[in-house]
Amino acid sequence: MLNKETKIFIAGHRGMVGGAIKRNLEEKGYSNLLVRTSSELDLRNQAAVTAFFEEEKPEVVIDAAARVGGILANNNFPYQFLMENMQIQNNLIDASLKTDVQKFIFLGSSCIYPKFAPQPLKEEYLLTDTLEPTNEWYAIAKITGVKACEAIRKQFDKDYVSLMPTNLYGTYDNFDLQTSHVLPAMMRKFHEAKENGHVPVTLWGSGTPMREFLFVDDLAEAVVFALNNVLPDYLYNVGTGVDLRIKELAEVIQKAVGHEGEIIWDSSKPDGTPRKLMDISKMHALGWSHKVALKEGIEKTYAWFLENQQNYKEVKL
């Protein structure tokens, strides 16, 4: 069990997920949080990661570090999505094992499951069929991380657990139209269209795929729940258990933003997986469930977007 002085290393603390986890732990009074920026510690560098672990000796590690992006980024940079994610997670997992880290939380993605797996997605569907081609590079990397943690549980009896969140969104999200995921990309498009006189907005695909979305603060709660409990299995889905069509999502975001123009669907662009709904019964049975409804989460995210627009220009978003 953790106490408020447990030394916890949060890898990827400057990202949306890692930042939410860090804020959650700080709010709960955890005072011994260990963080490093990418310029201070390159997680792709095995020797640097090993030296860091040997010097700092964290007791708990949360791996929220990854190279992430939407369909476009995955399609354009397959090698980086495969190799860099494997380098990051392998270095963290191996260094944790070698320095006797007792608790490790590995964060992945629902894209690890087969493209045409039965819905909702159960943990046991892993590796039962082929992956979605547009993000298989990222998915394969994450699958190797899940299996590495499972192997450590099996061979060394350590509390290494993998949490697979559904599609995430929230404050501190990435709004770069070249690399962002669907929800923040839509939000920025609708906002800019509103600012330009409510001009039409063109969105990718047919709008018919079904997707599930989890507010990032709810994932942070799930991670802290996993830290404070010994979970009996190696793999758990984290989501809401509720999905909607991309067209419906667009309408919710459009209303929150206040855009009054037309939505045009470009069906020449790929849709990706037809549906990705998570079976979250295992986490529910242990006592965790989400709290933030989609409409509320989108409104919170847009409010944050409006307050931080000056920062987007600085980082060329």
Q: What is the pLDDT of residues 194-250, one digit of tens each?
A: 999 999 999 999 999 999 999 999 999 999 999 999 999 999 999 999 999 999 999
**CA angle at 181 for the pair 214 and 245, rounded to the nearest 5°:** 60
Give the confidence band of 317 by pLDDT, cuts at 50, 70, 90. very low
Q: Which amino acid type is present at position 209? A: P
Residue-level pLDDT at 314: 37
Q: What is the domain extent for residue 163?
A: 8-314
Q: Is 109 annotated as a binding residue?
A: yes
Active site residues: 138
Pairing of strands 159-165, 244-245: unpaired
Q: Is 14 annotated as a binding residue?
A: yes
- CB burial of residue 226 (10 Å; 0-12, 13-18, 19+): buried
What is the percent of the chain with per-residue pLDDT over 90, rounded to a whole number?
A: 85
SS3 state of residue 278 = strand
What is the pTM assigned to this prediction? 0.93
64, pLDDT greater than 50: yes
Distance from C-alpha of 189 to C-alpha of 302, rounded to nearest angstrom: 12
3, pLDDT greater than 50: yes
266 occurs within a structural domain = yes
86 occurs within a structural domain = yes
Residue-level pLDDT at 312: 59
Q: Is 16 annotated as a binding residue?
A: yes
For residue 249, what is the domain's CATH number? 3.40.50.720
Distance from C-alpha of 41 to C-alpha of 164, rounded to nearest angstrom: 25
Q: Are the C-beta atoms of 107 and 64 separated by less than 8 Å? A: yes
Residue-level pLDDT at 75: 80
1 occurs within a structural domain = no
User: What is the pLDDT of the chain when averaged over all its residues?
Assistant: 94
2 occurs within a structural domain = no
Instruction: Domain count for the chain, please give it.
Output: 1
pLDDT in tens, 183-206: 999 999 999 999 999 999 999 999
Beta-sheet strands, E only, within 145-230: 159-165, 167-169, 201-204, 210-211, 213-215
Q: Is 224 annotated as a binding residue?
A: no
Distance from C-alpha of 229 to C-alpha of 288, rounded to nearest angstrom: 11
148 occurs within a structural domain = yes
264 occurs within a structural domain = yes
Residue-level pLDDT at 270: 82
Q: Is 144 annotated as a binding residue?
A: no
77 occurs within a structural domain = yes
Q: Is 131 annotated as a binding residue?
A: no
Residue-level pLDDT at 311: 67
Q: Are the C-beta atoms of 242 and 128 separated by less than 8 Å? A: no
